[in-house]
Structure 1
């Protein structure tokens, strides 16, 4: 069976996979799932991913991969260049480490702030098939954590041209998408964070940034 990518154009994690696919120049059959329309909760999609999350990559063997890093790693194994997961064991460890740091210290608070404050996320404060109410205090705390993340990334990018290594990797994709998505919680990169803004402009020039 052909490989199939289940995408949602408005969600950040599917965008990360779209950027990986674009960087590698792959042509993968894509099916759009509208989260806004509740298509991720439809029985047909739940048979593919009972967790009701996106993205999903169904491999040629029929396995459904539902985590962004797993999808990126799988595509890297099939198409090693360009090396988005790092070259060699040291770089790979750095990419996985920094990607996890960015997801945890940046992605989690950005998503918490969004899901616990945006009107469209009423009773959908947690991803998945089950409804959860919004918690205003969690959104407020998350806003403070996003400010800490901006400071941390600025410090890192003052020391390194890219997030994880000396070249563009999955960690840069993750950071770029999260910082871009932070606009929905009105937390753009601060004007004084020159290293981050320069890096962001550089990444935005890549064709994959439009994916």
Structure 2
């Protein structure tokens, strides 16, 4: 039996897991789920992941991991090299803190801006099996969150190669994917944010981040 990865090439969340799988060099099969057509809401995929989201990772023993947090934790335990969640208590705390901050500020900022303003997502303002109406004010707030996060990130990266713990980590993967995806809401770091540009170019030079 082979590990099966449920992916969507156009979405940032499965890209995060895709990069982690590549960094850990985990053999797997990939199954593409078409989010645009709503395939994630169909009965076939609900049987795999009732949360109706990607990524999902089906393990050799049949267990299914249904979010990035679980996938990252399993990969780190099953494939400890290279370590992407930290190697000592401080590193683990620093990486976890930054990863949560990136998800909460940048990731949800982009998601709020996109899902609360895009006509094709009318009635689908949150991912998952339940329908939620759009709230335009949340789209405006999301755009502001993205701007504010980029400003803080550029300051933080001054003199740093990586975001947390002085090493490549899941925090870099998360931030890289959401920074790229911010283009969908017409947001990118400004030209003056040279620290972010340097950090992105360093990661982009790695083959795993070209996925």
What is the TM-score when the length of structure 2 is the normalising length? Answer: 0.96
What residue is the counterpart of 2:82 in the other structure?
Answer: 82
3-state SS in 1 of match to 2:5: strand
Deviation per CA, 1:81-132, whole angstroms, max 9, x where unpaired? 1111111222112111110011011111111001111233222111011222
The separation in 1 between residues aligned to 2:174 and 2:49, in whole angstroms, is 22
Residues 46-195 of structure 1 correspond to what in structure 2 (within 5 A)?
46-195=46-195
Q: Give the conservation status (yes or no) of the 8 Å contact 2:3–2:27.
A: no
Give 5+ residue unaligned stretches, structure 1.
Answer: none
| Distance of 2:32 and 2:112 partners within structure 1 | 24
Alpha-carbon distance in 1 for matches of 2:145, 2:122: 22
Deviations 1:39-61 (A, max 9, x none): 10110110111110111011222
The secondary structure found in structure 2 opposite 1:57 is strand
Higher alpha-carbon deviation: 156-165 or 169-178: 156-165
For 1:102 and 1:33, the matched residues in 2 are separated by 25
Gapped runs of 5+ residues in structure 2?
A: none
Counterparts of 2:126 and 2:135 in 1: how far apart (Å)?
11
State how far apart, in whole Å, the 1-side matches of 2:142 and 2:134 are: 13
Aligned Cα RMSD in Å? 1.2
Task: Please say which of residues 152-161 and 95-104 is displaced more in the overlay.
Answer: 152-161
Partner of 1:9: 9
SS for the counterpart of 2:157 is helix
- Structure 2 counterpart of 1:18: 18
Q: How many residues align?
A: 211
Q: Secondary structure at the match of 1:131?
A: coil
Q: CA deviation at 1:159?
A: 4.6
* Distance (whole Å) between structure 2 residues aligned to residue 160 and residue 202 of structure 1: 11
Secondary structure of 2:158's partner?
A: helix
Aligned-partner Cα distance in 2 for 1:34–1:51:
15
Give the Cα separation in 1 of the matches to 2:207 and 2:153. 23
In 1, Cα distance between equivalents of 2:153 and 2:120? 29
| C-alpha distance in structure 2 between counterparts of 1:89 and 1:17, whole Å | 24
SS, match of residue 107 in structure 1: helix
Name 2:205's counterpart in structure 1: 205
